[in-house]
Chain A
C-alpha cells in the first residue's frame, strides 16, 4: 500500500491537490498553446514581437489562474455560479449602453493589463449557471415546460445582447453551448426537435427579410453569407478572406511549405493572419500532417474532458466539465469550418492559438474549473 493509493481514496486537501490535477490535460493545453506561439512567431516574420511574446505571458498568467481556480473546491464555484452569470450580464449591459457612447461599437472594458470582453466571460458563466441550475433542479422536473423556459431565458438573454453588439460568432457559441448543457441535463428530445425546426424556420425568415424594413441581420452579415455561398462573386472584396485562406490551406499539401516558408501569410495575402485565420498559416506551413495533428490535440483535450466528466459522480461537476468541453469544441469547430469555407466568416478565434488576451485567459480559467471538478470529484 503506497501512500499515493491511500490518498486516492480520500478527497485531497492543501497542496496535495496538485498531485490530483488532470496533468495530461495541462500538458495538452500547453502543447496547443505552444503551437500558437510557434505560429505567431512565424506570422510576425520570425520575431517574438509583436505577438508571440505577449501571448506567452498571457498563457503564463492563464496557467497560474487555472491552478488557483483548480485549488478552490468545485462546490464553491457552484455556489457562485449565479453571481458569475449576473455579473457577466451586467457587464454585457454596460458595454451595450456605454460602449456605444465611447468609441463605436466597443465590445470590451479596459482593465489596464487586459481588454476584457464580457461576452467571453459570459461563455463560461452561462455554462456554470446552467450546470448549477440543473444540479439544483430535481431530475423529474427537467422536462417540465416551466422548468425548460427558465434556462431558455437564461440562454436567450445574453445571446440577445451579444447579437446586438453585433457578434454573431459569440451568439452562436452561447446558444449552442447552452443548448448542449440542456441536452446533457436530460431535457426531452421533443424540445430540441422543436427548436431545431424553429431555427430552420428562422433562417428562412432571415433570408425572407432581406431588403425589407424588418431586416433581421446586418447587411454585412448578409454579404458574408453571400460570399460564403459563392466566394467567387467578389474576389477582391468580401470573398477575399475565404478565397485567400483556402488558397493558403490548399497550397500546404501533405507536409506544407516548411516553417516560416508560407508565402500566403508571409506576403500578407491572408487577412487576420494572427487572429481568426491563424489556422491557415499552420496549414500552409505544416500541411495536412500539421493541421490534422492540431485537430488530434484538440480531440485529445475533448477526450480527457469527457472522460473526466463521465467518471464524476457529481452532477454539477460533470455538467460543467461537459459544457466547457462543448464550448471549447464549438470554438475550434466553428473557426476551422470558417477558414475551410464550410461556414461563414463569423469571427471566432482558434482556441489557445489565435492571438488575443480575453479568449486565452477565459479559456484557461474555464479549464481551471474543469480541473477543480476533476480534483474535487467524490471518491
Chain B
C-alpha cells in the first residue's frame, strides 16, 4: 500500500511486531494464569473460611425477651402480673405518604400531637424499614379499629408486647416497687450486663422487690436467628429458641390484710407491719401514704412526680422498712429483759418515781409530772413509768441494753429483698466514740432507756422485737414464701435462750398495758376472750423540750406544727395465750402512742386474727358503733379479687 516503504523494511518490522506481540500475549496469558490461580486459592482452598464469614454476615441473632416472673400473695392473688400492652408502630417505607396515613389514623383513634411530632422526628433519623412507635398502651378497641381499616393504613401495625401491671395499685407499691425501662444509669451500675438489657425499653425492676429479685424475675432470653441484609433489615427467620420465663414469686403477705392496713392507715404518714410469730411470715407491710406504681411503669408525668416528691408525708418512702424512729417506750421491754437476764433486778423490786430523776445534775422527767410513786416492773410497763427505766438502765449499763436490743432484732439489718432496709441503731459506747468522737455519758444511757436519744428502730424491727418477746425465739422476717413453687426457709428461728419466767414477766406487763384499767392501751383493748392482745405504747419526741418551755408549761402537741409533733408508736402480739401475730404501728408526728397508734394497731390485729372483718363484739362496747361505720367505709376500698384470686400456688 505504501510506496515509500521498501519491502525489507516492512518485513523486518513485521517480524519484530510478531515477536513482541507473542511476548506481550504470553505475558498477558501468564497474568490470566495468575488470576486463575488466585481464584482457585480464594474459591477452593479458602472456601470454607469465606463461606463461614458469609454466614456470619448474613445471620444475626435476635433476642426474644422472656416474660417476667409474676408475683402472688400467700393465697395466689396477683400482685404483679404481665398484661399485653398494645402499641402502634409505623414503618415509613411501607406507609408511602406518611402524612396522609397519619391523618387518616388520627381520624380513627385519638393520637397525641406531641407523639406524632416525636415519631416524625424519629422517622427522619432512622432507616425507612424500622418500625417507629406512634402510641403506646393503646386500648384493645383502638387496636381492633386499626385492624379493620388495615387497607387504608399502609405501614401501620398494632404490635403486642408484655408490660408490667400492678392490679392492686397503691396497696403494694412499697413492697414490690415497680419496673421501668432500662436507663444508661442502670447499665453503668451493672458489670457485664445481660444482653437483654440492651433491648430498648426493656423493663427492669427499679425499686423494692422488683429490683432486689431482678435476677430471679427476669428469666433468660430466647434467641431467634434471622437473615439480615447489609443494612440490618430482617429478611426472614431461620429458627428460634424460646427463652426461660422469669421465676414466679409467692409472697407471705395477704392481699386482703395488706389492703386493710393501707386503708386503715389512710392519709396518715404512717407504717404498720404484721408478722406471723410462728414462722416470721410478713402478713402485711404497710406504709402510708402510698402511690400507684403503674404510673412509673407507664412513665410518670413531671407534675405527678413532683406531687409525690414535694408531699411532706413522703409517699415514695417505704417507711415500714426504711423509716427509723426513736422507739420511745416500746423499747422498755428491751431494758426490762436486759435487767432480768443480767439478774440485776427482780420483778418485785420497786423504784421511786417522783416525776423526775436527777442524773449528773440534769433532771430527766417522767411523762407523768406528779410521778408514779413506788413502781415495780409490771406497773412500770403498764403505766409506762420513765423514771423506773432511768434507774434500771443506769444499773444495767448501755452495753447490756444494746446487746439485748440486738438479740431482740433491733439495731441489726433484717435481710429482706426490699430497697434500703434500715438497720436502725442500738447504740454502744464504742459506736459513739467511733461515729461521734465523743465519750458516752450517763445521760445518754438514761435517754436510751426510754427509747430516745440515739436509739432508732424501724416498724419492721419493732414487729420482730415483739414477735421475739412473744415467742422467745429468734423470729426472722420472711417476705418470699416460695420461688417457682420452691418453699423458702421458714423464719421461726431458734430459741433466744432467755429465761421463760423473765419473758413471762414482760409479757404479763404488756398484757396489763392493754387489759388493765390502768394500762395505757386499755381503751384500745380487745374484748374477745380468745383474742386478747398484749401491747406497749410509745410516744417519741422529735424535739428537745427546753427548760423555758417546761417552765411555761409544756406546749400541747396539737399546738405544734406537724413536723415537730411526737411520733405515735404501738407494738402488740395476740392472742395472748397462744401468740400468732405481732403488730407494730408507727404514726409519724401522730401524737400519743396509746391514743393514736393503739386503735389502728388493735383494728389491724383483729383483722389479721379473724382473717377478715372481726365481729363487733370483739371490741369494747362503746366503740362498736364507730367501728361498724369504719368497717363499712374501709370495705368499700377493698379490691375485687373475683377472678384473680384463683389459687395459683
Contact surface of A with B, Cβ cutoff 8 Å = 75, 138-140, 180, 183-186, 244, 246-254, 263-264, 266-269, 283, 287-288, 291-292, 295, 298-299, 302, 306, 309-310, 313-315, 318-319, 322, 326, 329, 333, 336-337, 340, 342, 378
Contacts and interface: CB of A to CB of B under 8 A. Distances in A.
Given A254-B47, A315-B14, A180 B38 contact: no
Interface string B1-22: 1000100011011101110111
A253 B58 contact: no
A249 B229 contact: no
Closest 7 CB pairs of A and B: A250-B50, A267-B229, A251-B54, A268-B230, A253-B47, A288-B43, A251-B51
Nearest to B44: A288
Contact of A186 (B10, B13, B25, B49): B13
Nearest to A187: B20
A192 B16 CA distance: 16
Contact of A329 (B14, B28, B51, B230): B28
A247 B56 CA distance: 10
A249 B39 contact: yes
A140 B47 CA distance: 54
A263 B54 contact: yes
B36 to A, nearest CB: 6
Interface of B: 1, 5, 9-10, 12-14, 16-18, 20-22, 24-25, 28-29, 31-32, 35-36, 38-40, 42-44, 46-47, 49-51, 53-55, 57-58, 227-231, 235
Contacts of B228: 267
Q: Looking at chain A's contact residues, is the secondary structure mostly helix, strand, loop, or mixed?
A: helix
Contacts, number: 136
B21 A322 contact: yes
B231 A250 contact: no
B28 A302 contact: yes
B17 A184 contact: yes
A267 to B, nearest CB: 4
Contacts of B29: 299, 302
A267 B35 contact: no
Contact of A269 (B17, B28, B31, B57): B57
Contacts of B32: 295, 298-299, 333
B38 A342 contact: yes
A201 B91 CA distance: 57
A292 B33 CA distance: 10
B273 to A, nearest CB: 58
A355 to B, nearest CB: 19
A185 B20 CA distance: 8
Contact of A247 (B9, B20, B40, B53): B53
B17 A250 contact: no
Given A186-B13, A263-B58, A287 B53 contact: no
30 contacts: A75-B1, A138-B5, A139-B9, A183-B24, A184-B20, A186-B13, A186-B17, A244-B57, A246-B50, A247-B57, A251-B47, A253-B44, A253-B51, A254-B44, A254-B47, A263-B54, A267-B57, A267-B230, A292-B39, A295-B36, A295-B39, A299-B32, A302-B28, A306-B25, A309-B21, A310-B22, A318-B17, A333-B32, A340-B38, A342-B35
A184 B13 CA distance: 10
A310 B18 contact: yes
A199 B230 CA distance: 39
A248 to B, nearest CB: 7
A302 B30 CA distance: 13
Contacts of A292: 36, 39
B127 to A, nearest CB: 12
Contacts of B5: 138
Interface centre among A283, A292, A298 (most CB of B within 10 A): A292
Given A183-B24, A342-B38, 10 more contacts: A138-B5, A184-B20, A250-B47, A253-B44, A254-B43, A291-B43, A299-B32, A302-B29, A315-B10, A340-B42
Contacts of A329: 28, 31
A158 B392 CA distance: 112
B132 to A, nearest CB: 22
A336 B42 CA distance: 13
